[in-house]
A and B are shown apart, each in its own frame.
Chain A
Amino acid sequence: MTDTGLLSVRVEDNSLWLTNNLPFVVRDASLTVVGRGTTGGPAMTLPVGLYSVEAVTPRGRSMLELVRVDPATPVDVVVTEDSGRNAGRDDGQDDADGMRGAVEATLTGTTACTLLTQDAGGWTFGPDQVLTAVPTATYRLDGRDWTASLPLNPQGRKEDEATCRVELDLSASLPRLGVRFTEQRRVGRAVDGMLRHHEVMAGAELLDQAASLLLGKYSDPAAAALGGLTLHRYGRLRERQDWIENLARDFAWIPDGRILLAALLMNDRDARERARGLGLLVEATEARPLYTDGMALATDLLRRWPDADRKDERAERLERLAGYACVTDWDSVALVTGREDQWS
């Protein structure tokens, strides 16, 4: 009889939800998948041998740990938010510390928010008014202006649940602005991290659950909009139309919610619903979107709307969005745009 041992994977994190939902994959010495699970579940019984454990961390990165399973000692793989630090690409503030001196970066203005703190790693912003539009921060980086949409959370009960950070990312050939969810917005931060680290397919189930959690609660509408966009992009949003209706109705400052609802209504069999969707789309695209993907979706919808209605308005809105799209940092999750006249 083959000897066996126990393997468990757990998360050390302040979020109960993340502690119990992060997915992991176990491969044996031939790198065949022999098990999948979510953290917080029961220990797995495995034949003695070498195994790799791949998991998505609370920051949305991947981590990999190699272990030996033997009968004598149960193996306990612990995932923390710092796990996998060397496995992925840039990941915000920890990696950006002390790098700001390498480029000339000046905060030149804000809209609908206030600068709370500024340190070597970046800038932290918070809401200072009832939001009616997406808050922004504008920077001058090496002589060019960049404006970042800020996913603030006016619903946050404490200050660090309401804020977001902007950091400099110097890993690309040009300096970029990295807009990050702050530490206390843990589910939003995990979704954002998975998008930035290309873990979307590996963590599809986690994304699905995270987005559902965000959409189902009213605690962080900006993060919920990101979850909704992600679900839509991967064809998993239709069954959540009620939540998107709420997001679009109750958080008018986030145009992405109405854009998402328009996307759901676009192929409705009822012409009145399609007309409602087009109305939402035309209305939403008067303002700056919060997310790059929100702008991409809006552009796509305006270009491909199935009916011939309101063609002139659609063309005008496409022109308006083109002002953002022609100088956009497509790698950024939050919408970050430059000035066309500085790039010609």
Chain B
Amino acid sequence: MLIEVEGVAAPAVTHAFVVGVSHYPFLDGPQMTDKGGELGLANLSSAARSASELTAWLLNEYRCPEAPLKDVRLLLSPVDGEALNADVLARMGGQPAPATRAAVKAEFTAFMEACASPADRALVFVVGHGIQLSPRSAIVLLEDFATDAEPDLLFGAMDVIGCHDAMRKFGGADHQAWFSDACRQRPEIVRRFEALEGAFKPGNIGLAEVAASPVFLSSSTRENAFADPQGLTIFTQALLWALRGAAAVGKDETCPVWHVSSSRLSLVLPTRVKALAQAGGADQSVDLTGKPLDVVVQQFDAPPQVDIEVAVNPANLDPLPVAELRLDGNELVAVQPGWPLRLRATAGLYELVADVGGAAPQRKKKLLNAQPPACKEEVQFP
């Protein structure tokens, strides 16, 4: 289903293709087929919602002045009771378009055709059950996976890297960012897929090179670690957290404003995803493949605000020091008395001077790197 952004008439635009599959009728439920039942896979609870939330971010928060968002091609297969983003659902007329192979083929083909200029940008996000066969490949299962209507088990599946490779075409979008969020399967299931073919990918392998098209492949080791009770997959949580500023970096040669770059994502996402997964007792990896040169994925109007926290050690120092904080060592920043020092301030480099009075005055200076997502430091007094 095509969701168009009104009033976008820029010479270069961003196109997005988003798929989220929670509902697998041929794996789980009354329509389960014999071959689907053999796999022992259940419906997911959060993939479609995660895709809808990522879409909401695109529609409401994505900022790229030189190539604003023009449209999102969105396919969602939610399970009963799965709460999709209300704004996105409304834009879909209250009825999401299911992510079947036929729909994916039609929408992805249209997406490729829409990405008709090197100045265009492309963003792809796919989430569902998946078979990540290696750090270089991933297959995401679609709603009609394991249907009896087709002999090939992988008929209802999307070959993410095959689709990515097909986008390496002359004249197409030169800057692309791809995200695949798959629930990794057990070894005996993976083994069944290794030698199989038939997942959807466009027929022609692209022979051109685009400037940059990193692919972030995430896969969880356990289904129960795939999502949290709030209903987003771990990877989606981490990605939205990063895109909303936690992975922001300052101006550089690629972008004249604060932005989120794919190189910063490549550092931030694996750590964040791993931490979130380990909190649930599982492992989850993020692999980077494709052509991972830098792509600007989000831009910001202003430098982000960063939570700064500085503790004093020992905490029971008597008297406690008086703090003076200066941006770039010059511009005084107001701080509340008391320790730990806590404030929210513009991202940047600060100099903290901590003076201890009394009979034996001491002074400590510390430089602080207030870079997103947070700055947590300690001032040590001997």
Q: B337: CB under 8 A from chain A?
A: no
The answer to whether B253 touches A33, judged by C-beta atoms less than 8 angstroms apart, is: yes
A30-B187 contact in complex given A198-B266, A321-B194, C-beta closer than 8 Å: no
Find out whether the CB atom of A322 lies under 8 angstroms from the CB atom of B194. Answer: yes
**Chain A residues in 8 Å Cβ range of B289:** 233
For residues 44 through 102 of chain B, which have their beta carbon under 8 Å from a beta carbon of chain A? none
Q: Indicate whether A103 reaches chain B with its CB closer than 8 angstroms.
A: no
**Which of chain A's residues have a CB closer than 8 A to the CB of B262?**
201
Of B133, B271, B283, B330, which one neighbours A173 at CB under 8 angstroms?
B283
B135, B214, B285, B367: the one contacting A50 at CB < 8 Å is B367
Question: Whole-angstrom distance between the alpha carbons of A325 and B369 in the complex?
Answer: 42
Q: Is the CB of A297 within 8 A of B194?
A: no
Please report the C-alpha to C-alpha distance between residue A321 and residue B194 in the assembled complex, in whole angstroms: 8
Contact across chains for B278 and A31 when beta carbons are under 8 A apart: no
CB nearest to B278 among chain A residues: A173
CA–CA, A30 to B291, complex, Å? 30
Taking A52-B369, A201-B263, A322-B191 as contacts, is the C-beta distance between A30 and B134 under 8 angstroms?
A: no
B149 CB within 8 Å of chain A: no
CA distance A293 to B136 in the complex (A): 8
The reply to whether B195 and A322 contact each other, CB–CB distance below 8 Å, is yes
Contact of B251 among A33, A201, A300, A330 (CB under 8 A): A33
A85 interface hit (Cβ, 8 Å) = no
| Interface-facing stretch out of B30-38, B170-178, B230-238, B347-355 | B347-355
Expressed in whole angstroms, the Cα–Cα distance for A265 and B349 within the complex equals 50
Complexed CA–CA distance, A196 and B318 (Å): 44
Interface string of A24-68 (1 = CB under 8 A from B): 000111111100000000000000011110000000001010111
Q: Mark A202-239, 1 if CB is under 8 A from B, else 0.
A: 10100000000000000000000000000001110000
Q: Which residues of A contact B285 (CB under 8 A)?
A: 330-331
Interface residue? B110 (CB, 8 A): no
A55 to B303, CA, bound (A): 23
Which partner residue on chain B sits nearest A235 by CB separation? B291
- A315 interface hit (Cβ, 8 Å): yes
Chain B residues closer than 8 Å to A29, beta-carbon distance: 327-329, 348-350
The interface on chain B, measured as residues whose beta carbon lies within 8 A of the other chain's beta carbons, has a size of 58
Q: Nearest chain A CB to B262's CB is how many angstroms away?
A: 7
Give the nearest-CB partner of B189 in chain A. Answer: A326
Q: Is A96 an interface residue (CB 8 A)?
A: no
Contacts of B134 in A (CB 8 A): 292, 295-296, 299-300, 325, 328, 330
Q: Is the CB of B250 within 8 A of A33?
A: yes
User: Which A residues are in CB contact (< 8 Å) with B162?
Assistant: 304
- Kindly identify, within residues 106 to 158 of chain B, every residue whose CB is under 8 Å from any CB belonging to chain A: 132-137
- Identify which of B197, B294, B329 contacts A201 (C-beta below 8 A): B294
Quote the shortest CB–CB distance from B181 to chain A (angstroms): 15
Chain B positions 262 through 283: 1 when the CB is less than 8 Å from some CB of chain A, otherwise 0: 1100110011000000100111
CB-CB under 8 A from B270, the residues of chain A are 198
Who on chain A is nearest to B261 by CB?
Answer: A201
Residue A276 CB within 8 A of the other chain: no
Q: How many residues of A contact B (CB 8 A)?
A: 55
Residue numbers in B under 8 Å from A315 (CB-CB)? 195
> Which chain A residues border B187 with CB–CB below 8 Å?
326-327, 340, 343-344
Contact B293 A64 (CB under 8 A): no
Closest beta carbon of chain A to B142's beta carbon, Å? 19
* Contact present for A32 and B137 (CB under 8 Å): no
Contact B292 A200 (CB under 8 A): yes
The A-contacting residues of B in range 328-382, CB under 8 angstroms, are 328-330, 347-351, 367-369, 371
Total of A-B residue pairs, C-beta within 8 Å = 157
Taking CB atoms and an 8 Å cut-off, the chain A residues in 275-313 that contact chain B are 292-293, 295-297, 299-300, 303-304, 306
Is the CB–CB distance between B190 and A173 below 8 Å?
no
* Contact in complex: B135, A201 (CB < 8 Å): no
Beyond A200-B292, A325-B134, is A68–B367 a contact (Cβ under 8 Å)? yes
Q: Is A79 an interface residue (CB 8 A)?
A: no
How far does the alpha carbon of A325 sit from the alpha carbon of B185 in the complex, in Å? 12
Contact A66 B367 (CB under 8 A): yes
Closest A residue by C-beta to B137 = A300
A340 in contact with B266 (CB, 8 Å): no
A109 to chain B, nearest CB (A): 22
- A31–B347 CB distance below 8 A: yes
CA distance A186 to B267 in the complex (A): 23
Let me know if A318 and B136 touch, CB within 8 A: no
The chain B residue sitting closest to A331, CB to CB, is: B285
Q: In the complex, A200→B290 CA distance in Å?
A: 13
Q: Are B133 and A32 in contact (CB under 8 A)?
A: no
Q: Determine if B205 and A200 form an interchain contact, defined as CB atoms under 8 angstroms apart.
A: no
Interface positions, chain B 289-314, Cβ under 8 Å from A, are 289, 291-294, 303
A49, A64, A201, most chain B CB atoms within 10 A: A201
Say yes or no: is A130 at the interface (Cβ < 8 Å to chain B): no
**Could you tell me which A residues sit within 8 Å of B by CB distance?**
27-33, 49-52, 62, 64, 66-68, 89, 172-174, 198-202, 204, 233-235, 267, 292-293, 295-297, 299-300, 303-304, 306, 315, 318-319, 321-323, 325-328, 330-331, 340, 343-344
14 A-B Cβ contacts within 8 A? A29-B350, A33-B250, A172-B283, A201-B262, A201-B263, A292-B134, A292-B135, A296-B135, A300-B134, A322-B190, A322-B191, A325-B134, A326-B191, A344-B187
Q: Top 10 A-B pairs ranked by shortest CB distance? A: A296-B134, A31-B250, A29-B328, A322-B194, A201-B263, A66-B367, A326-B187, A33-B252, A50-B349, A318-B195
In the complex, given contacts A50-B350, A319-B195, A326-B190, what are 13 additional A-B residue pairs having Cβ atoms less than 8 angstroms apart?
Answer: A31-B303, A33-B250, A33-B253, A172-B278, A202-B267, A233-B289, A296-B134, A299-B136, A299-B137, A304-B162, A321-B194, A340-B188, A343-B186
